[in-house]
Amino acid sequence: MSPVSPSLSHRLDGLRSSAIRDLLTLTERPEVIGLAGGLPDEQLMPRDRIARAAEAALADRSRLQYTQSAGWGPLREVLAARESARLGRAVPIAEVFVTHGSQQALSLLGEVLLDPGALVVVEDPAYVGALQVFRAAGARIASVPLDAEGMRVDLLAELLERGERPAVVHTVSNFHNPRGVTMSARRRAELAGLADRYGFWVIEDDPYGELWFDRPAAEPVATYSPNVIRLSSASKILAPSLRAGWMVAPDRVCRAVELLKQGADLCGSALTQQITADLLADTDWLAAHVNTVRSNYGERAKALVGALRERFGNRIVSTDATGGMFVWASFTDDTDTARSLSRAVEHGVAYVPGSAFAVDSDYRSAMRLCFTTFDAPTLREAVDRLARTFGEERDG
């Protein structure tokens, strides 16, 4: 008798694997210059400093033990001090919650803030990891586009005036993934004003804020309203494998997240949390380290954008890359970047088609290019390969 197959939950209906993750496998060949990945540069990750901190942590056997669900106390203290400086108010430790990367904060917040059918407003194009969380929570998704000043808060206001009542608005306020733009100070204040007036949560998802090239981004949206939950992470400034993310949120949100975190994984790793605390508390070292990352990424971004302008002229409009890890490049004609991807891979270059991030628009003529892991000459070569890919297509 063949076994009767047990079923999976209905929550999985309509969930699909991230298109980016599927694409990455295709583009991992060594001869391909992979601008698709979106990974920070491991050559810039402070391996020796991490090794020293790990050695120090292991001198205390209790670091091998379970720790508190909300995070190892001294790390929360370091984070509270850091966030107090960032937010311009004394952030109590009860409002700081450590998660397994900021992605886990998103996932737990999806459960804490959303009932099935609740409305979530995201930016279009959107961070795919957030979309996955909101879809898994059974939310209805609406979107507002971005322009050079970040989220079109005026369109969010229109949506609210039409009577829509989101439970959550998600924004990547600094150096957007994938769109590259940063929200202006005026829009931050307006968004917070709407959150106060209509009573919704804003999730300000900010893993890239420290990675500015010329000047720091404006004050976090969280400085303007208590309804803003701020997420940040050590992944982009130290190393993703530390899996150290954190949330600054009202006490009642932290307590609710704590209940769920206990069920999800009991607690994070005391070992990597101590390493993270050690590095974040070493402020002179950290400032120098982050500056090195900034200047390397800044140089690479400028090389990529410069080469795009040189090779494609007016045929491509791209973001200026003032920080973060991504350039969003849009063809001004009807080039279809998804259709051209396999041809690009044949030419030895890969990107993520804009359609992978699309919510309500299609972004079929756009692509996300990640500049973090290649030096300037390699990036110029990548753009030459893109030019060959798309040039051929036009002639052919």
Interacting residue ranges for ligand PMP, rule: CB under 6 A: 38, 101-103, 127, 129, 172, 177, 205, 207, 233, 235, 240, 245
Cβ nearer to ligand PMP, comparing 127 with 374: 127
Q: Which residue is nearest to ligand PMP (CB)?
A: 101
CB of 270: closest distance to ligand PMP in angstroms?
A: 18
Phi and psi based region of residue 363 (left: phi greater than 0; alpha: psi -120 to 50; beta: remaining): left
> Least separation, in Å, of the C-beta of 10 and ligand PMP?
27
What letter does residue 343 receive in the DSSP assignment?
Answer: H
Q: Cβ distance 197 to 232 under 8 Å? A: no
The identity of residue 247, as a single letter, is M
Rounded to the nearest 10 degrees, what angle do helices 283-312 and 376-395 cross at?
A: 30
* H-state helical runs in the chain: 19-26, 47-58, 73-87, 101-113, 128-136, 153-161, 185-198, 251-265, 270-281, 283-312, 337-346, 376-395
Smallest distance, Å, CB 332 to ligand PMP?
A: 27
Bridge partners, 352 (sequence order)? 368
**Which of 174/355 has CB closer to ligand PMP?**
174
Task: Tell the smallest beta-carbon distance from residue 236 to ligand PMP (Å).
Answer: 8
In the chain, the largest separation of any two C-alpha atoms, in whole Å, equals 68
CB of 207 to ligand PMP, least distance (A): 5
Nearer to ligand PMP (CB atom), residue 129 or residue 348: 129
Query: Phi and psi (nearest 5°) for 370?
Result: -105, 125
Which lies closer to ligand PMP via its Cβ, residue 175 or residue 374?
175
- In the bound state with ligand PMP, the residue whose beta carbon lies nearer, of 172 and 387, is 172
Per-residue three-class SS string for 105-138: HHHHHHHHHCCCCCEEEEEECCCHHHHHHHHHCC
Task: Tell me the closest approach of the beta carbon of residue 245 to ligand PMP, in angstroms.
Answer: 4
In the complex with ligand PMP, the residue whose CB is nearer, 122 or 329, is 122
